[in-house]
């Protein structure tokens, strides 16, 4: 009897999990705008962008790709979302000017997406500095420059966050950019948390993490790893920041000295020693 009861609980848990991630609407390949609340998913790759205008909308691409058509030139964002409690997950966006652009309202999320060949801003998130809104979460995304076949079109950072309070960026990976593009820029984004992000194999960047008018940031367990000292500064503008257990390898200057609180950070090469 006990085995039967445990089996029943396991099955009910699986059913609950499946229902939690169920797709209510398969997005038609020709549909661009999404207005109505609900859970949407893709059943195949597509060449048209997606624009979300509304609240309580979740788009799960299920690892399908949103691909800019050949010769499209300066096109829109692959995925553009505006609203409250909007979630975009498991999407691969390839070749648009902007990869994913989120005009964020409370509780919105970008989760487990991949952006390649973005000509301008791969991930762009902006809001209206509402101090009472639930934090925006940018989690587990990947932004790659390895697949770029054109020279760099833009010097925009790989991830930009503008005008958000208390945003949480965690476990994102940004790798393989050349020609001066930085990894992350926060502008007017106080109390942001940067946790467990990785910035790998850049070349020619002057600052990897840039904080502008973004006080009280928490910078914890992040990694910058370069093949040679081609990044001038790991973190810049970290006044009032708390910097704990980060690892910065082959940045010419880590920037940890600017942090208000520093503990157990690792940097190589070591900073210059005083007389």
User: How far is Cα 201 from Cα 127, in angstroms, rounded to an integer?
Assistant: 30
What is the average per-residue pLDDT within 163-179? Answer: 94
**Band of the pLDDT at 10, cuts 50, 70, 90?**
low
Q: Among 1-10, 55-64, 99-108, where is mean pLDDT lowest?
A: 1-10
User: How far is Cα 20 from Cα 6, in angstroms, rounded to an integer?
Assistant: 21
What is the average per-residue pLDDT within 71-75? Answer: 57
| pLDDT score at 20 | 45
Question: Which SS3 state, helix, strand or coil, does residue 265 take?
Answer: coil
Which domain range does residue 251 map to? 27-268
What is the average per-residue pLDDT within 129-139? Answer: 87
124, 160 contact by CB (below 8 A) = yes
**Structural domains of the chain, count:** 1
What is the average per-residue pLDDT within 212-223? Answer: 97
Question: How many other C-beta atoms lie within 10 A of the C-beta of residue 142?
Answer: 17
In-domain check, residue 247 = yes
**Which CATH number is 165's domain given?**
2.160.20.10
| pLDDT score at 274 | 53
Structure tokens at 16: 């609950």
In-domain check, residue 142 = yes
| pLDDT score at 192 | 96
Q: Which of 224, 213, 214, 275 is nearest to 251 (CA)?
A: 224
243, 256 contact by CB (below 8 A) = yes
pLDDT above 50: residue 195 = yes
The per-type count for the chain, helices as H runs and strands as E runs, is: 1, 30
In-domain check, residue 4 = no
User: How far is Cα 212 from Cα 99, in angstroms, rounded to an integer?
Assistant: 23
DSSP 42-97: -SS-BSS-EEEESSSEEEE-TT-EEEPPTT--S---SEEEEESSEEEES-EEES-S
In-domain check, residue 249 = yes
Average pLDDT value for the chain: 88
60, 41 contact by CB (below 8 A) = yes
| pLDDT score at 230 | 83
In-domain check, residue 7 = no
pLDDT above 50: residue 14 = no
What is the average per-residue pLDDT within 154-179? Answer: 92
| pLDDT score at 138 | 97
Q: Among 10-19, 149-158, 244-253, where is mean pLDDT lowest?
A: 10-19
In-domain check, residue 13 = no
User: How far is Cα 183 from Cα 205, in angstroms, rounded to an integer?
Assistant: 8
Question: How many other C-beta atoms lie within 10 A of the C-beta of residue 18?
Answer: 9
In-domain check, residue 31 = yes
What is the average per-residue pLDDT within 203-211? Answer: 91
| pLDDT score at 152 | 52
Question: Phi first, then psi: what are they for 258, rounded to 5°?
Answer: -80, -20
**Band of the pLDDT at 8, cuts 50, 70, 90?**
low
User: How far is Cα 118 from Cα 159, in angstroms, rounded to an integer?
Assistant: 11
In-domain check, residue 274 = no
Q: Which of 59, 101, 103, 109 is nearest to 83 (CA)?
A: 103
Higher-scoring residue by pLDDT: 91, 20: 91
What residue has token string 């940004």?
174
């Amino acid at each position: 009897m006990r085995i039967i009861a445990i089996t029943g609980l396991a099955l009910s848990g699986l059913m609950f999990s499946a229902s939690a991630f169920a797709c209510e609407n398969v997005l038609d390949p020709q549909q661009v705008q999404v207005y109505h609340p609900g859970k949407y998913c893709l059943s195949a790759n597509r060449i048209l962008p997606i624009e979300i205008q509304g609240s309580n909308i979740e788009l799960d691409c299920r690892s399908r790709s949103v691909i800019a058509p050949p010769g499209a030139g300066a096109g829109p964002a692959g995925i553009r979302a505006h609203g409250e409690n909007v979630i975009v997950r498991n999407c691969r966006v390839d070749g648009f000017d902007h990869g994913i652009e989120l005009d964020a309202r409370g509780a919105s999320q970008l989760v487990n997406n991949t952006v390649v060949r973005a000509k301008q801003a791969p991930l762009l998130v902006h809001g209206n500095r509402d101090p009472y809104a639930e934090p925006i979460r940018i989690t587990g995304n990947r932004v790659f420059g390895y697949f770029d076949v054109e020279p760099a079109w833009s010097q925009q950072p790989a991830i930009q966050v503008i005008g958000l309070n208390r945003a949480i960026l965690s476990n994102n990976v940004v790798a393989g950019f050349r020609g001066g593009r930085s990894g992350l820029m926060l502008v007017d984004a106080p109390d942001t948390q940067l946790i467990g992000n990785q910035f790998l194999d850049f070349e020619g960047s002057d600052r990897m993490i840039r904080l502008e008018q973004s006080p009280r940031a928490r910078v914890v367990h992040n990694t910058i790893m370069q093949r040679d000292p081609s990044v001038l500064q790991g973190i810049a503008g970290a006044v009032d920041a708390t910097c704990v257990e980060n690892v910065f390898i082959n940045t010419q200057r880590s920037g940890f000295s600017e942090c208000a609180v520093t503990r157990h950070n690792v940097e190589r090469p070591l900073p210059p020693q005083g007389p």
